[in-house]
A and B are shown apart, each in its own frame.
Chain A
Amino acid sequence: EAAVTQSPRNKVTVTGGNVTLSCRQTNSHNYMYWYRQDTGHGLRLIHYSYGAGNLQIGDVPDGYKATRTTQEDFFLLLELASPSQTSLYFCASSMGLYAEQFFGPGTRLTVL
């Protein structure tokens, strides 16, 4: 079965802090995505990638960097975290752009 894991599951940092969220998929999928989910709202795409070394900008990229180091690993970087980035972050993977997306369990980030 498809597997997407995320770490850490919970993270608390202070304004201006440096945070890295990690995602690994063992599905051999080409595409990986980072979303944020805020209370009462749907998921919003931050960045996505279709392979190692590739990065595409999503709908809400400001304040976020991402890097896809291998087919399996996709990282989300917040270099100067702000309270507005307090959210639930999901990573997902898919074989193709229009294909089913498999989501990880999420990382809850709090920026004080």
Chain B
Amino acid sequence: SQWGEENLQALSIQEGEDVTMNCSYKTYTTVVHWYRQDSGRGPALIILIRSNEREKRSGRLRATLDTSSQSSSLSITAAQCEDTAVYFCATDASSGSWQLIFGSGTQLTVMP
């Protein structure tokens, strides 16, 4: 799982396997963003799931959101080498000044 100041997590899988990354957050959130960051580039959004949605799919990606446990997950089905990247979750937090809080990220390596 990723959150807050935890160090970057690392996962290594074989091509064709399924993988799930987890994210927990501390306060009520209205939206969870999942970003992927390729080496040497800025993050790019891959899925955005709102608090009134329990699941969202995009191709081989599936995100879930459980507001009761304050957690979200991102699953990749039949991972491919090009899925190798760092994956971040981010949730909105409002404590006086709004901001999007990013998790520490999961480094996913898919090996051929």
Which residues on A are within 8 Å of B, measured CB to CB? 4, 33, 35, 40-45, 48, 56-59, 90, 92, 97-98, 100-106
Contact = CB atoms under 8 A, between A and B. Distances in A.
Interface in B36-90: 41-45, 48, 88, 90
A98 B7 contact: no
B33 A101 contact: yes
A103 B44 contact: yes
Contact of A90 (B7, B42, B90, B97): B42
Given A42-B88, A43-B43, A92-B42, A101 B100 contact: yes
Nearest to A42: B102
B103 A42 contact: yes
B104 interface: yes
Contacts of B42: 4, 90, 92, 103-106
A57 B44 CA distance: 23
A7 to B, nearest CB: 14
A89 to B, nearest CB: 10
B24 to A, nearest CB: 13
B21 to A, nearest CB: 13
Given A41-B104, A97-B98, 15 more contacts: A33-B100, A40-B8, A42-B102, A43-B90, A45-B100, A48-B99, A56-B97, A58-B97, A58-B99, A59-B101, A100-B48, A101-B33, A103-B42, A104-B42, A106-B41
A100 B44 CA distance: 9
A85 B69 CA distance: 36
A43 B101 CA distance: 8
Among A43, A44, A106: residue with most chain B CB under 10 A: A43
B20 interface: no
Contacts of B100: 33, 45, 101
